[in-house]
Amino acid sequence: MRVSADMRTLLSGTAGIAALALVFTRWTQVSNPATVALSFLVVVLLVAATARLWVAVTTSLAAMLAFNFFFLPPVGTFVIADPQNWIALFAFLAVSLVASNLSAVARMRTQEAVARRDELVRLFDLSRDVLLITDSRNAHSRLAGFVSRRFDLDYAAICVPQASEWMVFRAGPHDVTLAQGDLSTAFAKVDEAGPSSAGHRLLIVGSHEVHLVPLRLGTKPIGLLAVAGRPVEPGTFDALAGLAAIALERVQFLDERKTAELARQSEELKSALLASIGHDLRTPLTAIRVAASNLRASWPTEQDRRDQSDVILSEVDRLTRLFENILEMARIDAGAVTEDMRWVAPLEIVEAARSRVEPVLRGFVIDLDVEPERLVRLDPRLTAAALSHLLENAAQYAPAGSTINVRAVVSDDSLTIAVRDRGPGVAPPDLPHVFERFYRGVDAKSRRSGTGMGLAIARGVLAVERGRIAAENCSDGGAQFTIVVPAGVK
């Protein structure tokens, strides 16, 4: 491609020289050597500005021959009779060659500057790609892919030594197999050379020239970057390898920080769980023990015995829900909650949620506003589980005998269910945290008992089916919790 472009430029330049010679000799009858030489020099400069040096030099020689043949006496021959014309001829040739060289050098410097700018843009784009790598499980493969794509390389690989073998994570359109021995030899030479050496190595693998550049964390080599394809300057290779090493170090740092954060959260959750369970176990166990002791006494009447039995059953149901919540949260953390998509009526979901927490809803008026005719395709089990926790939460904070509104609306691509209570609402400082596990609010001590797991479980099961949940305070009192679940609609 480059040679054919140069040939076209050369033909255009010689054609321009011929055209000027024809115009000056046949039409305008110009015979002043200075005018002719300057005109020819313009053509030479135009060629030098658009092609490589050899094209400009060839055009200069063609212009010199045309200048001699058509304009220096004796005209029509390559013989020069006047010694002064020799000086003029060689002066023209020298000026055209020097001008061609200067123009070619300036164009080459421009091309180098553009190439360096493009390399900087590629490095900048790669640095942005590096920020997207946050998972160590595929960090090496993604990094190799970014390097290959950003620098238009036929092959790129991140080579990392592990025990007695090399792990090679490759990318690019060409498949190049690097020998384990070659990698070990190159890495050993890099390690022996020390930080003062660049450590570049060149391998010939089949028809490919593979450049090996060390990856260093500080001064310590941790692997090799292998690239093949278009030519890249050594300085760019070093910058590329440095950026790749920083990316790997960053992923390692993120993993360590994530591990530390998970350990901290685990300890916090354990402490919160123990404190919450300790508090919520104490009350029902005390009530069960007192009721059981009363049943053993001789003074209770038959009605008293039934009342004490109801207390025991109620507290057992409370303990059952507590342990169900713990198991459900453990399943969410373990990723054991899966979807089971089915066509179902929204009213069935609401009724299933009510039946799960029926004992808690006794003494409340449930006002339903549900579209009964349209069917939705979603996981009714997960949606009903989330809704049951909202109903339980509303019953926990609303006054006894008050109304709990449940409204279900079907849109073209989702099911929206809103639960509103007539309680005190959510304190403004608590709104951003109500869905965090074990969070019970800034005034939890003055409220009813609870583990703070219900809303967190609701958010967790909704996340499995890509749903969302939100909380807000109503202007006329109470709070409203809304869940939106993506769904197919009939």
CATH of 258-319 given 1.10.287, 3.40.50, 3.40.91, 1.10.260: 1.10.287
Q: How far is Cα 204 from Cα 311, in angstroms, rounded to an integer?
A: 84
pLDDT at 279: 56
Taking all residues of the chain, what is their mean pLDDT, rounded to a whole number? 80
Comparison of pLDDT for 61 and 273, the residue scoring more: 61
Give pLDDT tens digits for 314-364: 788 777 776 776 677 677 666 777 788 999 999 999 999 998 888 888 889
pLDDT at 83: 67
Question: Domain 137-252, what architecture?
Answer: 2-Layer Sandwich (3.30)
- pTM for the full predicted model: 0.47
Domain locations in the chain as residue ranges: 2-113, 137-252, 258-319, 337-489
355 in Cβ contact with 392 (< 8 Å) = no
- Which residue has 């109903």 as its token pair? 391
Give pLDDT tens digits for 148-163: 888 888 899 889 888 7
462 in Cβ contact with 483 (< 8 Å) = yes
Count of other CB atoms within 10 angstroms of residue 138: 12
Question: Domain 337-489, what architecture?
Answer: 2-Layer Sandwich (3.30)
pLDDT at 446: 47
74 prior amide bond cis, ω within 30: yes
pLDDT at 88: 66
pLDDT higher than threshold 90 for residue 469: yes
Q: To the nearest 10°, the Cα dihedral for 133, 134, 139, 144?
A: 10
Question: H-helix or E-strand containing 351?
Answer: helix 346-356
Q: How far is Cα 234 from Cα 240, in angstroms, rounded to an integer?
A: 10
Query: What percent of the chain clears pLDDT 70, i.e. is strictly above it?
Result: 86
DSSP calls for 242-299: HHHHHHHHHHHHHHHHHHHHHHHHHHHHHHHHHHHHHHHHHHHHHHHHHHHHHHHSS-
Residues 6+ apart with CB under 8 A from 257: none
Q: How far is Cα 43 from Cα 443, in angstroms, rounded to an integer?
A: 89
